[in-house]
Structure 1
Amino acid sequence: MEASNFDGAVGGVRVATDSLDPAQRDAADVARELGVDPAVGLSSTEAARRLAADGPNELRARPPVPLWRKVLAQFQDPLVYLLLVAVAISLVAWAAEGATGPPVDAIVIAAVILLNALLGLVQEAKAENAVAALQTMTAATSTVLRDGELRTVPAAELVRGDVLVLGEGDAVGADARLLGATALRVSEASLTGESEAVTKDPATLPGPAPLGDRLDMVYKGTAVVQGVGRAVVTRTGMGTEVGAIAEMLDATAEAPSPLQREIAGVSKLLGVTVIVIAVVVMVVTAVVNQVSTLSEFVTVLLLGVSLAVAAVPEGLPAILSVVLAIGVQQMARHNAVVKKLHAVETLGSASVVASDKTGTLTKNEMTIQRIATASGQLELTGVGYRPEGAALQDGREPTDPALVHEAGLVIGGGALANDAQLALRDGEWQIQGDPTEAAFLVAAHKLEGTVERVERFERRGEVPFTSERKMMSALVDPPGEGDWALVTKGAPDVLLRRCTGLQVGEAVVPLDDARRAAALADVEALSAQAFRTLGVAYRPLPAEPRGELERAERDLVYVGVVGIIDPPRPEAAAAVAEARRAGVRVMMITGDHPTTAARIAADLGIVEPGARAVTGPELDALDEAGLRDVVSTTSVYARVAPQNKLEIVDALQAGDQVVAMTGDGVNDAPALKSADIGVAMGITGTEVTKEAAKMILGDDNFATIVAAVRQGRVIFDNIKKFLRYLLSSNMGEVFTVFLGVVLAGVIGLSGASEEAVVVPLLATQILWINLVTDSGPALAMGVDPEVDDVMARPPRRLSDRIIDRRMWRGILSIGLVMGVVTLLTMDIFLPGGLVAGSDSLEVARTAGFTTLVLAQLFNTFNSRSETTSAFRHLFANRWLWAAVLLAAALQVAIVEVPFLQTAFGTASLDLAHWAVALAMASVVLWFDEARKLLYRLRHRGRGA
């Protein structure tokens, strides 16, 4: 039978309805139509033929991105486009002048573009290497029956019709229909989100069922935790349930980050502004100076280029990349690997963190927390598989010896009727087998004397767990100490029906109706608290029992019941509280049981106690408007399919929320890719999930996400600081050039030279300011330490601009002040104008150039805050002081060193020139201090 005959079963995103779904067909019929004898398996020849026809059992891998595409991607930025235009204009002007000497302007701008591209490539390569280091290096294998023999083959070589032989600890290599199973339990958490292992049953399903309820099927990517079984492979590769999710992942679009959208908007605005101002200035200059010759036209064109260079912050792309890269490195030191630079800032803007439960908010380690017996209840402290903790009665050390004895029998009995193993490996406690059974082994260490009691017994036989019986028994023997015993654990209601006695202290009393009702009430109370319950009973047997053990599972003595739960991570509750303090909404989206999900969410502080979880089927019944309403008010979701997770994320984004989605399972991948930032678990996360995510947590710690949110907010604040600095400084250059041309006659500039067109600043001087004076301080502001508590304010809304109206007013006012003081300084030293001077054009231009440089250095301290005085925390950033002092020293060098004077068209200044330049430049600082003071006075008492 061809594979297409089974392709109607559509995967984990919806209920299978096709009549040919193998889950609804007899196993023998499935094997027959796949052309395989379950007792012999496929022949090697036939397996090779099918492998050649269908391809390897692998998910379709994305082709590696070629280097040339990675390089090209670094230039796909609006600011880079503007710089490329500036390079082209510079080359045209240089050629028009006769192409004498190197095209300095074009070379310098091109160098900035290349530097930015190199930074981006290096950072992305680092992220790829970090991700690769998290991936497993061993290829998965599967045991199959071929040519009548058991063989271990790479999972990639499985084909339709292969007979899988499954055992405890095996990874399921492909989707397969069960042929037979004994006590087979499979963990499907990575596929469905269900933390509890699923008991498999080869009996044919009566009708369509959700993925998590297809008990006669096993799926690629899941793991066997108990028992054995055989299954015939029905689908491989992209035809599996995991493949269906991968297909959905490919169809999910990836949106740009908020920072990318904002910078693109700023770049477009700058582009329009540059073009308008440059054209206006060139037209005005040509008209005022009556330009008529080619030489004069080239001068005007160069002026336009200079103005374009002045308006465009050439260093912005490189500085932005460096600041984000530094943030990435800081996060990497805290176990967060960021694959894309802009994802750092996105976390800081997150208004919702939609998190998976199992393994993310919880430890994915089943833990016994309650023991209920005839004499009362004990609470066990400690979480996970680390055997540390104690028993408490009403919050204190137990005082009732009867209760302590009964509790020891419950845990000891569960540890004896047990197939799991607990061991310390490489400093970490690890289990093998069913996590629920391992919980008894861990609990035994928390009750004094229980481990020693268990170690006295040896197992002589067992009756394994089955889905029909819902219990298992072990025949144990205390060598040389007396009779054997049959110890049984299982579903409490099933177990109680087989019990006739009740353990009370060290005595056994008849289990009458009242005592039976009390025991069932304990079970119901634990279930209402979202605990999974398991009862324990026993029966003394003769030293040499005969007959089938299953027949001995009667007249048992009921000991008690335990409450088991996958506990929250200890640090997760604090992380949730910190997120809520920051105005970030935390949501839990899981495939687990609704009661369990609501209990864990309440324990973590995500919802109030008593809140209910909305289930996947309930979401399926909603229209688009109803879904948006539910998502706006509900923070915990259970029994959801991958498509539901994707719909929740999309609904949140439609409500203008910035969504961070965390997860570790394959079923999380589409939602992770669709979210503004997807966060995958590095330890428990699947490779599909890591591929879809923008960030990977190396420690699987939810608290790391909150730390990353804080870091993202700090980075965003710092981006605003250097944007404020760069744009206000560049506006100072624009106003200097524009007003210098328009007011050339007023300030005495037009009569200072015989040239037809005289400009206040040379193109090389403007480049010097942008690339040296601007870049160093701006980069230092990008690593400014956190001054205010960034987690004490709500997240930035999508409608909020990085550069809002108030910031634009500050940028333009500071830029205008810079331009005015620069031109006034030139006027002071030029003959004529408002103030009569006696210096040459070269000296006056150098003094104005120096004033503008010093004004921008003063502006670095202004730009650290829009409202706080520059003198507050003045010395908090030593890198900023180092950058300012270095820039000042370099300015002195280009003014006073002869060969630099030639390159930049400067002349030496005496002490009086330097004093005037410094005093005029400081006006920028005092002006902004006055503006901030007025703002604080105006908003005093308003909380602003």
Structure 2
Amino acid sequence: MVGQSNDQSSRIESMQSNEHPQAPSPYSLDADPSLTDAQDVAQALDVNPSTGLSASEAARRLERFGPNELASAPPVPKWKKFLAQFKDPLVYLLLAATVISVIAWVVERMNAEPGAAGGEALPFDAIVIVLILIVNAVLGYIQEAKAEQAVEALAQMTAPQTNVLRDGVISHINTTDVVPGDVIVLGEGDSVSADARLFAAASLRVAEASLTGESVAVGKKPDTLAEAKALGDRANMVFNGTSITQGTGRAIVTGTGMNTQVGKIADLLSAADGEKTPLQKEMDYVSKVLGLAVCAIALVVLAALAIMEGFGDVHDVIESLLLAVSLAVAAVPEGLAAILTVVLALGVQRMAAHHAIVKKLHSVETLGSASVICSDKTGTLTRNEMTVERVVTPSGEVQITGTGYAPEGRMAMVGGDDNSAVAQGLKTEVLATLGAGVLANDGELRESDGSWQAVGDPTEVSLIVAARKVKADRRMANFQRVAEIPFTSERKRMSVIAKDSADAGKLTVFAKGAPDVLLGYCTRVAVAGAVRPLTEGDRQTILASVERLSGEAYRTLGQAYRPLETNSLAEVPGILTNAAGQIADIAEQSDAIETDMIWAGMVGIIDPPRVEVRDSVAEAHRAGIRTVMITGDHPLTAARIASDLGIIGKDGTALTGDQLDQLAGDQAAFDRATATTSVFARVAPEHKLNIVESLQRQGNIVAMTGDGVNDAPAVKTADIGVAMGITGTEVTKQSATMILADDNFSTIVAAVREGRVIFDNIRKFLRYLLSSNVGEVFTVFFGVVLAGWLGITQPGVSGVTVPLLATQLLWINLLTDAAPALAMGVDPQTEDVMRRSPRKTNERVIDAAMWGDILFIGFVMAAVTLIGMDMHLSGGLFTDRSIGALGHEAQMVEARTMGFTILVFAQLFNALASRSHLQSAFIGLFSNRWLWGAIGLSVVLQLVVIYVPFLNTAFGTTPLSPMAWLECVGLAAFVLVASELRKCVLRAMAARR
């Protein structure tokens, strides 16, 4: 392909920006593609439909026209994101109080006598508060940026994919990389990635409800339209955002991004989803309740100060106002939402590293609650390395050796002499059976660097591999496919019509499908190359072989054929044509094609269970999660695999789709069946949906796997929709909440485990944050109310005396909230994480037991802090320390430093205690190195505040003696001791129950 000229670029742009003309017009470069011959469209877009664009040309067009995506809102500037950190009513109050403080300081300086001493050289309180707010905003901005990066990485992992023809080879690329002129390859289950003009289609049907509102899938043909038609009637066009429900096709992209039909109405299709998750809503609720409670307490504290001590001057008013507002700000964990998002995002990234790609962060909440996992068999519970091992024909049975996709092996007669006359006839039948399977096939076998790869359905590729092993594919080299009746889960069969160039182009129908279904369309049987009528005895023998192979865990596929004895489909009896002699959609005429067929034989395909799945099923069972197998395979095959994996016992059986149909009119009976049955076989897509809805009616949280387009309704309806990343269609992936990159059932169980761990960790840091903040509130509240007993109000000192300064409260929150909480968000899993029953969806994140922990620890924290202050004050409840040479003011600074430090250390001990409601903190004490790192950082910063002189002035602190440090650590450690004693009592009470 030659490079694209500017003129060609203009033509492409013209094709992209084309509006539908009001009337048909002669072809021109900017004509409607639906009114233009496909070859002319290809010429205008400078592409060869048989090879597609070259990789270099596609790259040039991508650079010129941009990614294939709808325009989104412009990104928010970083400075706006930073300023958004200050958008909080409590922060506004604090800033207002700080301004008042600065004004009071200015007034004091202006009214001071010249040369008089006293007063502050700088408004330290105001400066420190502003600096802390800035640091808080920086931390919040960093946390949100990390969360956004994680979400963006997640979006990249779940980006939709498209099959395009480039350099003559079908490639799987991101949908955003599709460019005008690309040849897109369409198949059942694909999402259409751009507006495109069809030039080839086989029984193609497209669901266009998202664009046109038409609920029924629309048939598509590449024929050029004779006149302009409405969007829903343009049968030779496919449009961005629609999905393929049946058939195959190829089309030339005429519009991408905003130049598609969807792009024209993009303002009506806003992708922004501002809906908050249930967990976020509960966190908002908790923050509001806590905020209101703390504001009320702050007012009480302010009133108590006014009544009990009075305000001597404007400085007392300012200091009391700062304390009240700071208390409200400090008690509400403003960074909770950001921390929650970061923890969820980190958890989702860990899942992705283990092949479970969760599309939305909030899905993690539901994962930990899963009580039933409904799984397909093939590829999920099994290895998906389909291998044809048996071929059964009317004359006998052969075994095909070799495993995997390498076409290396041979056939050996089962129970007979390979050189006998019967064996020779049997070989002829085997070649015919496998040959039919090769032609009725959409799979492809590729060799790359010495290894063989399956492209398409592994079951279909296994037929190609088997045919190559015995050279059966060579017998079919003269046949060329001319039409197709695609496989659907309802039909359970697929047929193609091929012409034989070695026999004057005569047509033959080749079909494959479920043996019991395909047999119903056969009236003849081929024995050693001769055709005779199919008898009832033949039918019973074939069905008995199906039962036998299914009982041995083989998946069976029947093959049949029918010579049409003509080289024109129009001459086939029953085929409908119009007045011009054109044949109607062949897929709608299957009754005329798939009749009077000749039974060739059937194959037995083995797909061994995954070794690791049995352990995963057992682990799920221990976690109270039931595993249900839903498959289209034979009941005996399904039961055998399920038994081997431990899903059912050795004597367990499967319930079939026909049996479910008999229960359809009795919802209670249907629910009883799904409650007691764990294997469903020979089911259709509607059965899967009904099973999911039935399990949900019973109060279960259901995870449902799927790969085909018909699985999408069940996957979307399930609480946790799981799409196969390897074999799954784009429609199913878009409907799912999670994608398995390795199509492995064990990955689902691992994701559920990780979901439980994440939820546990969320509860851990919520317990820590809220109990620590409640401890601050209780410290200030009881410090004011009990000031007279504790010695905080001292004789000889007039005005307001508060237990902790506003700057100290803000520093505590800055020091102990973010880092330890984030570290607890990545805490390792506990031993019992998969030994507990699934969490109920109506169970509150912060339940009564957690509120008990929060209030208890908060009270203990306040008690040890106030006791520590009391020990360093004269006139205290526990001690009556002499003022000595310190003086009242210096003694109060020392006492505040003690209370300030005790509260910091108490919260750090609380970080260890909050890791579990019942389990001792000493179990796995050093398992979280990040938590110890956060604790170490907080200790170092607290030392800096206490021993750096200028910070002493800013935070109202003073250096402490070694004995004072022993008192601080000892009192703070009592938080951990009290928590351990409470847990012992709770464990004992739980054991009695």
Question: How high is the TM-score relative to the length of structure 1?
Answer: 0.70
- Asked whether 1:583 is paired with 2:624, we answer yes
Pick from 277, 282, 300 the counterpart of residue 257 of structure 1: 277
- Structure 1's 293 and 408: CA in aligned 2 closer, same or farther, altered over 3 A? farther
- Asked whether 1:115 is paired with 2:139, we answer yes
> How far off is 1:68 after superposition?
2.7
> How far off is 1:826 after superposition?
1.3
1:525 matched residue in structure 2 = 547
2:925 matched residue in structure 1 = 874
1:273 matched residue in structure 2 = 293
Pick from 465, 477, 482 the counterpart of residue 442 of structure 1: 465
1:424 matched residue in structure 2 = 447
Question: Is contact 1:459-1:474 (8 Å) kept?
Answer: no
- Structure 1's 934 and 409: CA in aligned 2 closer, same or farther, altered over 3 A? farther
Q: For residues 508-536 of structure 1, what are the alpha-carbon distances to aligned partners after superposition, in whole Å with 9 as ceiling and x for unaligned?
A: 99999586245433466379889553247
Q: Distance in 2 between matches of 1:390 and 1:189?
A: 44
Q: For residues 617-665 of structure 1, what are the alpha-carbon distances to aligned partners after superposition, in whole Å with 9 as ceiling and x for unaligned?
A: 9999899x999999878886954479x96x9888877876555565556
- Asked whether 1:67 is paired with 2:89, we answer no
> How far off is 1:743 after superposition?
1.0
> How far off is 1:750 after superposition?
0.6
> How far off is 1:537 after superposition?
9.1
Q: Distance in 2 between matches of 1:247 and 1:668?
A: 30
1:923 matched residue in structure 2 = 974
Counterparts of 1:96-115 in structure 2, within 5 Å, are 97-98=104-105, 100=123, 102-115=126-139
Describe the SS at the equivalent of 2:447: strand
Describe the SS at the equivalent of 1:323: helix
- Structure 1's 495 and 939: CA in aligned 2 closer, same or farther, altered over 3 A? closer
Counterparts of 1:720-759 in structure 2, within 5 Å, are 720-751=763-794, 754-759=797-802
Q: Give the residue type in structure 2 aligned to 1:723.
A: L
- Asked whether 1:892 is paired with 2:943, we answer yes
1:864 matched residue in structure 2 = 915
Q: For residues 306-348 of structure 1, what are the alpha-carbon distances to aligned partners after superposition, in whole Å with 9 as ceiling and x for unaligned?
A: 3213422345344334433332332232234445444444422
Pick from 735, 752, 757 the counterpart of residue 709 of structure 1: 752
> How far off is 1:35 after superposition?
9.6
- Asked whether 1:770 is paired with 2:813, we answer yes
1:561 matched residue in structure 2 = 602
> How far off is 1:758 after superposition?
0.7
Pick from 939, 947, 964 the counterpart of residue 913 of structure 1: 964
> How far off is 1:898 after superposition?
1.9
Describe the SS at the equivalent of 1:819: helix
Q: Distance in 2 between matches of 1:751 and 1:366?
A: 85
1:719 matched residue in structure 2 = 762
Q: Distance in 2 between matches of 1:617 and 1:252?
A: 41
- Greater shift, 451-460 or 218-227, is seen at 218-227
Q: Distance in 2 between matches of 1:70 and 1:406?
A: 77
Q: Distance in 1 between matches of 2:247 and 2:661?
A: 30
Describe the SS at the equivalent of 2:957: coil
- Structure 1's 678 and 174: CA in aligned 2 closer, same or farther, altered over 3 A? same
Q: For residues 43-98 of structure 1, what are the alpha-carbon distances to aligned partners after superposition, in whole Å with 9 as ceiling and x for unaligned?
A: 9999xxxxxxxxxxx99965414323999899999x98465455445445545544
Q: Distance in 1 between matches of 2:840 and 2:630?
A: 23
Q: Give the residue type in structure 1 aligned to 2:866.
A: L
Pick from 305, 310, 324 the counterpart of residue 290 of structure 1: 310
> How far off is 1:722 after superposition?
2.0
2:527 matched residue in structure 1 = 501
Q: Distance in 2 between matches of 1:502 and 1:288?
A: 110
- Structure 1's 660 and 743: CA in aligned 2 closer, same or farther, altered over 3 A? same
Q: For residues 829-857 of structure 1, what are the alpha-carbon distances to aligned partners after superposition, in whole Å with 9 as ceiling and x for unaligned?
A: 11112211135111122122222222222
Describe the SS at the equivalent of 1:533: strand
Q: Distance in 2 between matches of 1:589 and 1:70?
A: 49
2:880 matched residue in structure 1 = 836
> How far off is 1:744 after superposition?
0.9
Counterparts of 1:360-439 in structure 2, within 5 Å, are 368=388, 370-373=390-393, 385=405, 400-401=416-417, 411-417=430-436, 418-419=438-439, 421-425=444-448, 429-431=452-454, 438-439=461-462
Counterparts of 1:593-608 in structure 2, within 5 Å, are none
Q: For residues 429-460 of structure 1, what are the alpha-carbon distances to aligned partners after superposition, in whole Å with 9 as ceiling and x for unaligned?
A: 44568866533222357xxxxx2554886845
Q: Distance in 2 between matches of 1:434 and 1:502?
A: 30
1:534 matched residue in structure 2 = 558
Gaps of 5+ in 1: 1-33, 47-57, 143-153, 193-197, 203-215, 446-450, 478-485, 540-544
Pick from 878, 899, 904 the counterpart of residue 853 of structure 1: 904
2:886 matched residue in structure 1 = none
Pick from 304, 308, 316 the counterpart of residue 324 of structure 2: 304
- Greater shift, 695-704 or 895-904, is seen at 695-704
Question: Is contact 1:350-1:660 (8 Å) kept?
Answer: yes
Q: Distance in 2 between matches of 1:373 and 1:351?
A: 45
Describe the SS at the equivalent of 1:68: coil
Q: For residues 579-632 of structure 1, what are the alpha-carbon distances to aligned partners after superposition, in whole Å with 9 as ceiling and x for unaligned?
A: 444334556789x79979987995777786322449999999899x99999987
Question: How high is the TM-score relative to the length of structure 2?
Answer: 0.67
1:781 matched residue in structure 2 = 824
Q: Distance in 1 between matches of 2:694 and 2:137?
A: 39
- Structure 1's 924 and 874: CA in aligned 2 closer, same or farther, altered over 3 A? same
- Structure 1's 802 and 224: CA in aligned 2 closer, same or farther, altered over 3 A? closer
- Asked whether 1:349 is paired with 2:369, we answer yes
Question: Is contact 1:501-1:556 (8 Å) kept?
Answer: no
Q: Distance in 1 between matches of 2:38 and 2:856?
A: 86
Q: Give the residue type in structure 1 aligned to 2:767.
A: R
2:988 matched residue in structure 1 = 937
> How far off is 1:860 after superposition?
2.4
Q: Give the residue type in structure 1 aligned to 2:882.
A: S
Describe the SS at the equivalent of 1:372: strand
- Asked whether 1:125 is paired with 2:154, we answer no
> How far off is 1:794 after superposition?
1.8
- Structure 1's 166 and 611: CA in aligned 2 closer, same or farther, altered over 3 A? closer
- Structure 1's 309 and 115: CA in aligned 2 closer, same or farther, altered over 3 A? same
Q: For residues 663-698 of structure 1, what are the alpha-carbon distances to aligned partners after superposition, in whole Å with 9 as ceiling and x for unaligned?
A: 556677787777666555555556666666655444
Pick from 847, 856, 870 the counterpart of residue 827 of structure 1: 870
- Structure 1's 325 and 127: CA in aligned 2 closer, same or farther, altered over 3 A? closer
Q: For residues 840-885 of structure 1, what are the alpha-carbon distances to aligned partners after superposition, in whole Å with 9 as ceiling and x for unaligned?
A: 1111221222222222222222222222222222232333333333
Describe the SS at the equivalent of 1:869: coil
State the percentage of identical aligned residues.
43
Question: Is contact 2:764-2:916 (8 Å) kept?
Answer: yes
Q: Distance in 2 between matches of 1:560 and 1:517?
A: 12
- Structure 1's 709 and 133: CA in aligned 2 closer, same or farther, altered over 3 A? closer
> How far off is 1:755 after superposition?
4.5
Describe the SS at the equivalent of 2:813: helix
Q: Distance in 2 between matches of 1:43 and 1:252?
A: 36
Describe the SS at the equivalent of 2:527: strand
- Structure 1's 309 and 438: CA in aligned 2 closer, same or farther, altered over 3 A? closer
1:813 matched residue in structure 2 = 856
- Structure 1's 237 and 914: CA in aligned 2 closer, same or farther, altered over 3 A? closer
Q: Distance in 2 between matches of 1:74 and 1:339?
A: 27
* Count of residue pairs brought into register by the alignment: 837
Q: Distance in 2 between matches of 1:358 and 1:222?
A: 24
- Structure 1's 156 and 352: CA in aligned 2 closer, same or farther, altered over 3 A? farther
> How far off is 1:817 after superposition?
1.4
